A and B are shown apart, each in its own frame.
Chain A
Amino acid sequence: MNDQLKTDPSKPAQRMRAGSMTLTLGPWIVAAIALLVMPYIFTSNSALTIMNQMWITVVFALAYNMLLGQGGMLSFGHAVYMGLGGFFCMHLMNYIEDFGLAFPLPLLPLFGGLFGMGFAMIIGSFSTSGAGTRFAMISLGVGELIAACSVIIVAFFGGEEGISGDRTYGLPFFGVEFLKQIEVYYLISFWLMLSAVLMYLFSRTPVGRMANAVRDNPERAQFLGYSARWVRFYSFCASGFFCGIAGGLFAISYEILTEENLNATSSGVILLVTFLGGVGFFFGPIIGAIAFTLLQTVLSLQTELWAIYVGGLFLATVMFFPGGLAGLMMMHVPALRLGKAGGLVMPYIKTLIPGAIGVLGVCALIEMTFHFRHAAKGDHEMTLFWTTFDSHTVMPWLIAGIVAAVGLGVARATAPAMKEAWDEANTAGGAS
């Protein structure tokens, strides 16, 4: 067992960081190019809208993971910091409109960030003295409090209809007025890139490193000269700053903020997104945000029940892959290093494809049940997987049931072989 763990200090390429990955410049350049060319690949307006939403969620999720993954603080009310930053930006936008201020719109998220950080400083001053249940409960309480305030302090939150504005009244920025969606896309992409780089660099600073130490073992950190509380406080403020930036981007993109941006549901979603992507790696929340936004937007066009599937996926992640999607990917690094990843392809195909087909069979059963119970009376026809059939006959149920049973059965039968292949691929030496 120890042989495969031993690393050779003379070969930097073999080094693996626990908990976080050392990213070199490469991935950043790839990411920047991807951000630049995406609108040329997905040109439709709806695709742009989806990408805008995705990148805003990425900023938010990365900021959230500064607490959850890096600092070990579970917050249940983090939408507050993004929401407040967004509300503040909406007000700024309206001031610009009302008083004709010469203010370039691209700078707006910075002020959202500062506002988010300011609020985080107030809350953090008393919530960061512990990381456990106390912190989680305070975050939940503050979240509820602010969400409740949104209908009470109407001047700031705009009551039930929220605050809306118009981004195009700012000072034209080098001739750009942000009338077009594509201009907003590049504005968001710029801030995404900047925020992601800054958040990554933060994790490499002394206080960022100590955040990991405090997460792992607050008491030991105290005996290294660091107050666990102050380390948490700095992480909390930094997280609040980047949440505020996400809020500012949201304000620019949607031109409206409501109570929905502050409430517990939004806080829950970001927790789900981050966990789905994987809290243990810096890039985890990025994957989570992309996957979740795609599920939310694309899947919701296909089925009303999309939330059930997302919930199921989340549960499966928590139970079987606590490292999230990023953890799942990084699990394969040792096999790749040993040059044995190829041996995993066939076992994966044999197990995962039947498994996926089986899951689709289960989904079909769920959809049919839903249609059977909730479709208008007399409407027996439904379309599923490009097939139209009568949901009140036995045949479709039989087929879906058999597909589900056989698919899952085959997956179950081949799972031990996959496990064996996995162990083999992760053991040094032997036939490769």
Chain B
Amino acid sequence: MSTAALELTGLKKSFGKAEIIRGIDLSIGKAERHAIIGPNGAGKSTLFNLITARFPPSAGTVKLHGEDLAGLEPYQINRKGLSRSFQITNIFPKMTVFENVRCALLWSQGYKYSFWNLVNRSRALTEGAEAILEQINLLERRDLPAGTLSYAEQRALEIGITIAGGADVIMLDEPTAGMSHSETDYITDLIMKVTEGKTLIMVEHDMGVVFGLADRISVLVYGEIIATGKPEDVRADPKVQEAYLGAALEAEH
């Protein structure tokens, strides 16, 4: 059996006395699109932050392709092929759109902390960045400061930055939060396109997006996963309906 792309074992996190994540076991296979859903305050973003070492876990392990990530810094985890976006748009606002994407390419193209290469000279960097811009439909905005883009464009740019480094495990934290219907459709298609053949883990509130994108869904309630499975199984699960989905599904109809 091949190792899982991401494997969480007994993951726990407390802030003082408050236990936010209360023991999570989850295994996400290669090239799987996995959505994590749950009510507000369930600990979804905290779970993301634990996986990407933004916070250290109180207990348990996170394994990326079978390798324990304990004690690694975010940038080291990123170098191992895990990339993430943030719930609050997190780009480089004063740099141009092109520059944003190019910076995301530097490490994966092996430039490290080089001060003997000129970035403008590298055709691979320019073309790589432009290819990403084309994928996220921002080629036209190439030379604008990223901070001047519209909200949906900034979210698209962030997805572009997240995938640019060629990571094979992509984590998106509420990629469609605060978007209109048409924007949501646009971003969903975009995610579909750019995560082809990659492992995707996303936190999402919009059930349309979740059921459209995900191969499997985990439901997180009060720091515990109460169900994991195919969308239709999760939808049918009475526990899930009681805890969360029922209300959301009713609201949708």
Chain A interface (Cβ < 8 Å from any Cβ of B): 5-7, 9, 14-19, 201-202, 204-210, 212-213, 215-217, 219-228, 230-231, 234, 238
Contacts and interface: CB of A to CB of B under 8 A. Distances in A.
B92 A223 contact: no
Contacts of B119: 204-206, 209
A65 to B, nearest CB: 15
Given A18-B145, A206-B112, A234-B113, A216 B78 contact: no
Contacts of B93: 216-217
A16 B103 CA distance: 18
Given A222-B78, A226-B75, A7 B142 contact: yes
Given A18-B144, A18-B145, A231-B113, A224 B165 contact: yes
B106 A216 contact: no
A2 to B, nearest CB: 8
Given A5-B144, A207-B113, A222-B73, A18 B95 contact: yes
B84 interface: yes
A207 B114 contact: yes
Interface in B101-155: 102-104, 106-108, 111-120, 139-148
B237 interface: no
Nearest to A225: B107
Contacts of A216: 92-95
B99 interface: yes
Given A207-B115, A216-B94, A227 B75 contact: yes
B234 interface: no
Given A223-B74, A224-B107, A225-B75, A205 B94 contact: no
Contact of A220 (B91, B106, B111, B144): B91
14 contacts: A14-B143, A204-B119, A209-B106, A215-B94, A217-B90, A217-B93, A220-B86, A220-B92, A221-B92, A223-B78, A224-B78, A225-B107, A226-B75, A227-B75
B149 to A, nearest CB: 9
Nearest to B150: A2
Interface of B: 52, 54, 73-75, 78-79, 83-84, 86, 90-96, 99, 102-104, 106-108, 111-120, 139-148, 161-162, 165
B140 A213 contact: no
A111 B103 CA distance: 33
Given A206-B119, A221-B75, 19 more contacts: A7-B141, A7-B144, A9-B139, A18-B99, A18-B144, A18-B146, A206-B106, A209-B102, A209-B106, A209-B119, A213-B92, A216-B93, A219-B74, A219-B90, A222-B75, A225-B108, A225-B165, A226-B75, A227-B75
B144 A217 contact: no
B99 A209 contact: yes
Given A6-B140, A225-B108, A205 B114 contact: yes
A220 B90 contact: yes
B93 to A, nearest CB: 6
B167 to A, nearest CB: 9
A230 to B, nearest CB: 6
A18 B94 contact: yes
Contacts of A238: 115
Nearest to A72: B94
Nearest to A16: B143
Contacts of B165: 224-225
B161 A224 contact: yes
Nearest to B108: A225
Contacts of A18: 94-96, 99, 144-147
Nearest to A280: B94
A203 B94 CA distance: 15
B173 to A, nearest CB: 11
Given A223-B52, A227-B75, A206 B117 contact: yes
A213 B103 contact: yes
Nearest to B133: A9
A110 to B, nearest CB: 17
B107 A17 contact: no
A227 B94 contact: no
A17 B115 contact: no
Nearest first, the 7 A-B pairs at minimum CB distance are A225-B107, A18-B145, A206-B111, A216-B92, A222-B74, A15-B143, A225-B78
Contact of B148 (A5, A14, A204, A230): A5
Contacts of A16: 143
Nearest to A15: B143
A125 to B, nearest CB: 15
A7 B106 CA distance: 25
B126 to A, nearest CB: 12
Nearest to B100: A213
A254 to B, nearest CB: 31
Contact of A206 (B74, B94, B114, B148): B114
